[in-house]
Amino acid sequence: MDIVFAASECTPWAKTGGLADVVGALPRALAKLGHTVSVFLPYYRQVAKAVPDAAVVLPSITIPFPSYNRFVRILDGGLILGVQHYFVDCPELFDRESFYATPAGDYADNAERFGLFSRAVIEATKVLGVPDVFHVHDWQAAMIAVLLRSVYFFDPVFRRVPVVLSIHNAGYQGWFPPQTMETLLLPWDMFTYQKLEQNDTLNFLKGGIVYADALTTVSQKYAQEIQTGEFGNGLDSLLRQRSGDLFGILNGVDYDEWDPAVDPHISAHYTVDKLDGKSECRRDLLHAFGLEGVGEETAVIGVVSRFATQKGFDFIVAIMDRLVREDMVLVMLGNGEEYYERLLTEMAARYPGKVRVQVKYDNVIAHKIEAGSDMFLMPSRYEPCGLNQIYSLKYGTIPIVRATGGLDDTIDEQPFGGGNGFKFWGYDPKSLMDAIGRALGTFQNKDEWTRMMRRGMAQDFSWEKPAHEYVRVYERVIENRS
Ligand code: ADP
Ligand code: GLC
């Protein structure tokens, strides 16, 4: 089967979160199963820095706008582990400091940027090869489904080509003013509640949900949750209508990147049978955060996260005064919303011996936290899948999570340290504090703790199984369209 992926992030070039990990790893798993996969990604400034001399595959594609054209080049991102990567180059739109936003807010022309990206992918495949199925990710690529079923409707080469849309996060939908219909040359009769309109905005993700042949999301629990008013962000009734075509497929882990037995970023290697290296990683982590004096009996709690409301930082802040009285230290790595960057920096300044924060994006420190912490904290308000808790399991770092989305599907708390972690249901700081309390209590019993670590480390979340599930979805939509 020939599959084209389109997404706004992909490891190793462009990453703010788990989307990049998925778009990096799933195509490789599909290629291993014998499929032909190519991935399209915008040629952001950061990508251009990493691959400055990417060869030109297509020198000029015309993308029309109301009174002007833009011209896009398709560049060769290389064949990596069986997957062909292409970059969509349009310097006026992508040669910028960030992918989506500045600290002052989203780029004002994001609709044009990702509308152009979607059209460019469609046009490029007409030359490079029309796939059997498009697999598009989140609102930034959702327009591919809309365009193919509207302004490309009469193009004979796409008639039978279905689109699968993966929703990684329904909290981000791509809302734009009505006038954007004209900017993107979309017919006004699609600006209705049944199609692209929502609350008098053009909603990219909604369009994708209406027009894609099948929808997937990244855990079974989140597939149910987004069909409710609480998690659907206004799209729940539409998602209920499409529930027959909506599949929850839990993300996998790329163990070439995230395995303490081979991880090049950590100071010692270890496995489920030979755990010794973990204490060296712990020392190294404490050193990286300037916490050298911390003893064995003190629990090291790690956080790696985008700083966003979704991630439940207000719960952490709310329990901070209470938490610092416990025998623990908290090491946090993250960046994102300025409000949380400031708040957490203030917390670290208030409790310097107990709380440390590094405000940045740093892949090496992220790996060090996974390896060197005793516990990993993810009190998310909602979490479509969540990858860090699954990485933590492999690193023998016990997750403490809120029971939502993929966190609920992957973490199981049982009495007396059974299960693979700690989880809480409440939407309040006390429930979080209680869960941390249970973890700290269990941490005192080293045998019980080690058994729990080993149980998590032995679990297998590799991509092979989810890749098979995606293939079944592709087969179904291809069949339905033929
Ligand atoms: P989300 O996609 O919602 O951010 P996930 O748990 O799915 O959450 O994935 C987050 C990914 O991004 C993980 O690979 C994590 O290690 C990485 N990550 C998040 N913040 C940072 C950061 N500040 N520095 C390095 N890696 C980060
Ligand atoms: C999103 C979600 C996260 C998920 C990731 C990859 O960013 O917030 O939960 O793991 O996408 O699917």
For the chain, domain boundaries: 2-252+464-481, 276-458
Residue 172 has pLDDT above 90, yes or no: yes
DSSP 419: B
429 token code pair: 């700081």
Integer Cα distance of 140 and 172 in angstroms: 10
pLDDT tens sequence across 1-47:
999 999 999 999 999 999 999 999 999 999 999 999 999 999 999 99
Integer Cα distance of 477 and 244 in angstroms: 12
Residues in contact with 255: Cβ distance below 8 Å, sequence separation at least 6, in sequence order: 394, 462
Helix H or strand E segment including 196? none
3-state secondary structure of 265: coil
Q: Which of 8, 6, 43, 11 is nearest to 253 (CA)?
A: 11
Q: Which residue out of 138, 304, 401, 402 has the highest number of ligand 1 atoms within 8 Å of its CB and is therefore the one to mutate?
A: 304
CB atoms within 10 A of CB 50: 13
Mean residue pLDDT of the chain comes to: 97
Q: Which residue out of 139, 140, 169, 310 has the highest number of ligand 2 atoms within 8 Å of its CB and is therefore the one to mutate?
A: 169
- Would the CATH topology of 2-252+464-481 be identical to that of 276-458? yes
pTM for this model (two decimals): 0.97
Residue 401 · residue 407 · CB < 8 Å = yes
CB atoms within 10 A of CB 261: 14
Residues in contact with 17: Cβ distance below 8 Å, sequence separation at least 6, in sequence order: 9, 306
Is the CA virtual torsion 282, 284, 290, 294 positive or negative?
A: positive
Domain 2-252+464-481 is of which CATH architecture? 3-Layer(aba) Sandwich (3.40)
Domain 276-458 is of which CATH architecture? 3-Layer(aba) Sandwich (3.40)
Atom of ligand 1 nearest to the CA of 19: 2
Distance between Cα 309 and ligand 2 center (Å): 14
Atom of ligand 1 nearest to the CA of 333: 23
Helix 338-350 and helix 313-323, axial crossing angle in degrees, nearest 10: 10
CA 179-182-188 angle, to 5 degrees, is 90
pLDDT tens sequence across 207-256:
999 999 999 999 999 999 999 999 999 999 999 999 999 999 999 999 99
Residue in the structure block whose two tokens are 């992030």: 9
378 lines ligand 2 (CB under 6 A): no
Q: How confident is the model at residue 481 (pLDDT cuts 50, 70, 90)?
A: very high
Residue 365 · residue 289 · CB < 8 Å = no
Integer Cα distance of 391 and 252 in angstroms: 10
Question: Which ligand has an atom closest to residue 137 CA?
Answer: 2
Q: What values do phi and psi take at 377, rounded to 5? A: -105, 125
Residue nearest to atom 16 of ligand 1 (CA): 366
Distance between Cα 253 and ligand 1 center (Å): 13
Residue nearest to atom 17 of ligand 1 (CA): 17
